[in-house]
Structures are given as C-alpha cells and as structure tokens.
Amino acid sequence: MREGTVNDIQTTTLEVDEASAPLSGLDRCDSCGAQAYVRATMESGTLLFCAHHAAKHRDALQPLAQVWHDETAKLQER
Ligand SMILES: [Zn+2]
C-alpha cells in the first residue's frame, strides 16, 4: 500500500469499464434524486449516491463494494 494513491482504485476481475466510467449529470442519487457523485458497484448491483448520501452510507457500504467510484472531489475543486 502506497500513500497518495487513493484515486487508483484497485480493480480486479470486475467489468472495469462500466464500474469506472465517469458519472454524468444524468446519474441520480438512489436516495434523494440529486446528481450522483458516487457509484458503488456491489455484487448485487449498482448504487448511486449524491455527495451527501455517499458520506452517510460510505462507512457501511464501502467495505462491501467491489468498486467505490467517488467523484465528490469534483465538488471541492474550484
Ligand atoms: Zn442523495
């Protein structure tokens, strides 16, 4: 494990293209319908979250996710 490589998501046997594709404005949070900035690719399917709900559910879901695709940094970059 190296420091400073948090954006290098470790992908293994997953369909990387779909799991790591950028989110768009058409992707909506499953909880509230706001624009999604996080996609959690689970064994059972894909979940989309806005930054708010991603933060709320991250602790519970991230360890279970095959890919945790997080674009919330986009919100902070100005
Ligand atoms: Zn939400």
Residue 2 located in a structural domain = no
**Residue-number span of the structural domain to which 41 is assigned:** 22-76
Residue 4 located in a structural domain = no
Residue 10 located in a structural domain = no
Identify the pLDDT of residue 13: 52
Cα-to-centroid distance, 67 and ligand 1 (Å): 19
Residue 14 located in a structural domain = no
Q: How many domains does the chain have?
A: 1
Identify the pLDDT of residue 18: 79
Write the pLDDT tens digit of every residue in 12-42. Answer: 555 557 788 999 999 999 999 999 999 999 9
Cα-to-centroid distance, 9 and ligand 1 (Å): 23
Buried b (16+ CB within 10 A) or exposed e, 2-38: eeeeeeeeeeeeeeeeebeeebeeebebebeeeebbb
Q: Is the dihedral of CA 31, 52, 4, 59 positive or negative?
A: negative
Q: Is the dihedral of CA 1, 6, 27, 34 positive or negative?
A: positive
Residue 58 located in a structural domain = yes
Which pTM value belongs to this model? 0.74
The protein residues having their C-beta less than 5 angstroms from ligand 1 (an ion) are 29, 31-32, 34, 50, 53
